A and B are shown apart, each in its own frame.
With several copies, the nearest count.
Chain A
Amino acid sequence: MYCIVTRDPIDTAGLLRRVRSDADGAVLIFAGVVRDHHEGRAVEALAYEVYEEMAVEKIEMICKEVASRFEVGELAVAHRVGELTVGDISVVIAVAAPHRDAAYKASREIIERVKGEVPIWKRERYSDGGEVWRDGAVPDVPEAEKP
């Protein structure tokens, strides 16, 4: 398991090599990319901010839970933060598995949970000059334990 938050470009091919082992018949790479529009507005650039220590722990926990539920081999997640422009890869999820069904399911679950639970935020800068913190997902907070 390899989970990082980084300010540098993500080495996608390196993550593929890192997760694959001889027992795996499938490797799935999801790459999230900065696109040029959001809800009808032209996007020029993004700044990602992170609560780094917690984010890495959260991503590791997500990977552990997903690995326990699906028959997968190695997992890797790399999330980029800092200033990104259109076309830059913001996140890569790499999943290796003996069979493809588990790879697709695990990959999908990891990206959904990364988007929904990990303390990372993005500020979008639009071509029309505006700049806002992009609206996001509200993480679930565990119930208090009964006394």
Chain B
Amino acid sequence: MRVKCLFFAAYRDIFGAEQIDLELPEGSTLGALIEDVRARAGVCAAVLPRQLVVAVNREYAPVETVLRDGDEVALIPPVAGG
């Protein structure tokens, strides 16, 4: 299955992309996606927080979440609106 992964703000700088498409085995969890993505951060992996905050289909979601084909996943850096 394929999920879309979005990067914002500092994470976009780190990953050098606004969006990537990921091919994952059926039944993959958000945790598995995070590991996959973390591996792509290269030398910058060290500056990523140990617990990444992630939204699935625009809702903050726990790592146990089981992903589905077509999901929109977004890595959310610490927020600073207002």
Contacts and interface: CB of A to CB of B under 8 A. Distances in A.
Q: Do chains A and B touch in the complex (CB under 8 A)?
A: yes
Interface residues of B, number: 25
A122 B61 CA distance: 23
Given A142-B62, A144-B63, A120 B53 contact: no
Describe A's contact surface by its main secondary structure.
Answer: mixed
Interface string B34-67: 0000000000000001000111001111111100
B76 A139 contact: yes
Contacts of B80: 115, 120-122, 133-137
Majority secondary structure of chain B interface residues (helix, strand, loop or mixed): loop
Interface in B1-42: 6, 8-10, 13
Interface in A96-121: 111, 114-121
Nearest to A81: B81
A90 to B, nearest CB: 7
Interface of A: 32, 48-51, 53-55, 57-58, 79, 90-91, 111, 114-123, 133-144
